[in-house]
Amino acid sequence: MSLEDRVKATAKNVEGKIQEGVGNVTGDPQTKAEGQAKQAEAEGRHTVEDVKDNVKRMID
């Protein structure tokens, strides 16, 4: 996984956690759900890139 991709996924995860927290504090379920969705997207990106790294290691 390139460092750039990992940083982007981590930033998306942090953004989602903050948004989820804001949703919790304000009682806004839509904001909370959007934050959780961003975290899920970030987790998916990490998983895809981890698979790519594993395949690359196997080839090398």
Instruction: Quote the pLDDT of residue 35.
Output: 97
Query: What pTM was estimated for this model as a whole?
Result: 0.84
Residue indicated by tokens 């759900």: 33
Instruction: Quote the pLDDT of residue 41.
Output: 96
Instruction: Quote the pLDDT of residue 26.
Output: 97
Instruction: Quote the pLDDT of residue 2.
Output: 79
Low pLDDT (below 70) residues in the chain = 1
d(CA 57, CA 37): 30
